Amino acid sequence: MNNLPPRTLFEKIWDKHVVQDEMDCPSVLYIDLHLVHEVTSPQAFQGLREKGLIVRQVGRTVATADHSVPTTDRSLPITDSMAANQLRQLEINCREFGIPHFGIGNPHQGIVHVIGPELGLTQPGMTIVCGDSHTATHGALGALAFGIGTTEVEHVLATQCLLQRKSKTFEVRVDGQLRSGVTSKDIILALIAKIGVGGGVGSIFEFTGSAIRALSMEARMTICNMSIEGGARAGLIAPDEITFEYLHGRPFVPKNAAWDESVKLWRQLPGDVGATYDTQVILDANKLEPMITYGTNPGMGIPITGSIPTLESLEDDSSRRALARALEYMNLSPGKRLLGHPVDVVFIGSCTNSRISDLRAAAGILKGRKVNPKVRVMVVPGSEQVKRQAKQEGLPELFRAAGCEWREPGCSMCIAMNGDELRPGQYCVSTSNRNFEGRQGIGGRTFLASPLTAAATAIEGCISDVRTLL
C-alpha cells in the first residue's frame, strides 16, 4: 500500500500535522485542540488585542478555571483580589474572543487535564497544547500533547499553529504485572527515580509493554501526566480497546457512523512493526514497590520500604550538594527510612490523581477507618463531573466519616495559588506531581506518592506502607 519506513505513534501524529516545513526553519505544526486556563493566558490575549488579531478557531479552543479557584464554598465571594481578578480576566477574554469557558459554577469546570479526556475533547491522533506542562496527560489517549509558554499560547490562538522541532523518541517499556498496592503512580515515580528529572529532555516518551496495556485509561493518564517530571515534553500510549471503550459516548466524540470511522483511523495509530526509538528504558512491573519521594525534585524517590540515599552513595559532587540541600530543606537525614515519619497534611487531588478511580482507590482504604486526628486530610476532586460521580457513589460521606475534608474541584494544594497551602515546616504526603521547594506553600515539605499510600498515611498519621492495610 505504501512504502513509508516503519514509524512510531509519535511520528505518525507528527507527520499528519505538519502544515509547512521550510529549510532551516522549525516545522509549522497544526494544533487540533487548544486548552486555556487563567494563569498562562492573560498576557497572550493582551498580545492579540495589541496586534489586532482574533482567535482563528474558537471551535478548537476551550477554557476552564482551575489554578486560582477556591475549593471552599463557591457561593461566597473570592477573598483573594488578585485571584478574583485573574478569573474575571479569563471570563472577559473568552467572551471578547468567543471562546467556550467553563468558569466557577459551570458543570464542566475542572482541572484542565481532567476535563479534556472526560468530555471526550481529547482524542487519539490529535495534537493538543495548553499553557501548562502537564498537558502531557492527554498523551494517555494516544494524542500528541505538550505544554507551551504564553507567547506560544498567543501563536496558537492567532494561527492554530505552532513552530516546533521534532523531538527524539524514547520508549519506556514496562512489562510484567503490578503487585497489589502498587499503582501507575509508582511506575512513573520509579521511572523518574531511575532516569532523573532531566532524563527525558529533548525526547517524547512512549510507554509500552504488558504492564501499560493492562492499565485502565485513568491509570494511564497518571503516567503520562508526569512525563514532564522526567524531562520529556510529552508522553504517549498507543490507543487500544481500553481507549475506545473509555471514549465511547463522551460529549465531544463523533457519534454513530462517524464514531466507527474514527475508531478505524485510530486503530492505525500504534507504531509499525519495526519502528525504532532513539532511546529505550525497561522497567519490570513485578519488582516495583509503592514509591515515595524524599527530596525536592520528583527524581528523588525511593521504594516505600527503602532508605534515603547517603551522600557517599552518590557519584559526583554536584549530586551530593543537591542531596544535602534537599535534605536540609526537608529536615531529613541521609540513610534513614521514611516509613513512620510523621506528617501534618495529606492531599489527595491534582491532575495526576484526582479522577474518580483515584478517589475510589483512596476510599477503599479509608472505608470504615478513621484518619489520625493529628493529620489534616484534603480530598479535592479534579472536576465537577468527578465530584458528581463521587456523590452518586457516596464517596463524600465516606471521606467525611473517616475525618477527611471534601472540597470543590480545582488545582488546590498542588500549586497553592488559591489559599490551600502548607504552613512553613509542615510535612505533606501528596498525590500531586511536584515536590519543589515551596510548591505547596512557603517552607512546606512534600512527599509525592500514590492515592493508596496517601490514604494509608492519613490513617496512621505517618508515612505508611499501604500493603499492611490491604
Partner 1 sequence: MEPVNSFTSRVVPLPNENIDTDIIIPARFLKITDKANMEQYCFHDWRFDSAGKPRLDFILNQTRAKGAKILLVGKNFGTGSSREHAPWTLMAFGFRAIISLSFADIFRSNALKNGLLPVELPASTCSELFELAEKNPAMELTVDLASQSVKLPNGRSVEFPIDNFSKKCLLEGVDQLGYILKQEKHIQAFEQAHPVTVPTSQLQ
User: Which of residues 89, 216, 307, 426 is near partner 1 by CB under 8 A?
Assistant: 89
CB 93 within 8 A of CB 41: yes
User: Which of residues 4, 6, 15, 25 is near partner 1 by CB under 8 A?
Assistant: 25
152: left (phi over 0), alpha (psi -120 to 50) or beta: alpha
Determine the Cα–Cα distance for residues 408 and 391; give it in Å rounded to an integer. Answer: 12
Binders in 222-281 for partner 1, by CB under 8 A = 228, 231, 233, 251-254, 258, 262
Count CB atoms within 10 A of the CB of residue 426.
Answer: 17
Which one of the spans 3-11, 246-254, 408-416, 459-467 is the region binding ligand SF4 (CB under 6 A)? 408-416
- Indicate whether 411 belongs to the interface with ligand SF4 (CB under 6 A): yes
CB 177 within 8 A of CB 285: yes
Least separation in angstroms between residue 369's CB and partner 1 is 33
Binders in 257-316 for ligand SF4, by CB under 6 A = none
Read off the C-alpha cell for 12. Answer: 505518525
CA distance to 29, 69, 188, 355, 389, per residue, from 411 (Å): 29, 8, 20, 12, 18
In 3-state terms, what secondary structure has residue 137?
helix
In the list partner 1, ligand SF4, none, the entry touching 111 (Cβ below 5 to 8 angstroms by class) is ligand SF4
Count, residues near ligand SF4 per rule CB under 6 A:
14
Binders in 335-364 for ligand SF4, by CB under 6 A = 350-351
Determine the Cα–Cα distance for residues 229 and 218; give it in Å rounded to an integer. Answer: 18
In the list partner 1, ligand SF4, none, the entry touching 258 (Cβ below 5 to 8 angstroms by class) is partner 1
In this complex, which beta carbon is closest to partner 1, that of residue 305 or of residue 436?
436
List phi, psi (to 5°) of 221.
-65, -40
User: Which of residues 6, 15, 19, 324 is near partner 1 by CB under 8 A?
Assistant: 19
In this complex, which beta carbon is closest to ligand SF4, that of residue 138 or of residue 341?
138
Determine the Cα–Cα distance for residues 225 and 210; give it in Å rounded to an integer. Answer: 19
Name, in order, each residue with C-beta under 8 angstroms of 23's C-beta and a sequence gap of 6 or more. none
What is the distance between the terminal CA atoms of the chain, rounded to a whole angstrom? Answer: 53
Read off the C-alpha cell for 299. Answer: 527524581
User: Which of residues 55, 111, 356, 371 is near ligand SF4 by CB under 6 A?
Assistant: 111
- Indicate whether 314 belongs to the interface with partner 1 (CB under 8 A): no
- Indicate whether 437 belongs to the interface with partner 1 (CB under 8 A): yes
User: Which of residues 123, 184, 243, 432 is near ligand SF4 by CB under 6 A?
Assistant: 432
In this complex, which beta carbon is closest to partner 1, that of residue 21 or of residue 397?
21
In 3-state terms, what secondary structure has residue 293?
strand
CB 268 within 8 A of CB 240: no
Which one of the spans 26-34, 175-183, 204-212, 410-418 is the region binding ligand SF4 (CB under 6 A)? 410-418
In the list ligand SF4, partner 1, none, the entry touching 66 (Cβ below 5 to 8 angstroms by class) is ligand SF4
Q: Quickly tell me which residue has 512525563 as its cell.
A: 227
Handedness of CA 380, 381, 383, 387 (dihedral sign): negative
Which one of the spans 137-145, 307-315, 379-387, 435-443 is the region binding partner 1 (CB under 8 A)? 435-443
**Contacting positions for ligand SF4 (CB under 6 A):** 66-67, 111-113, 132, 134, 350-351, 411, 414-415, 432-433
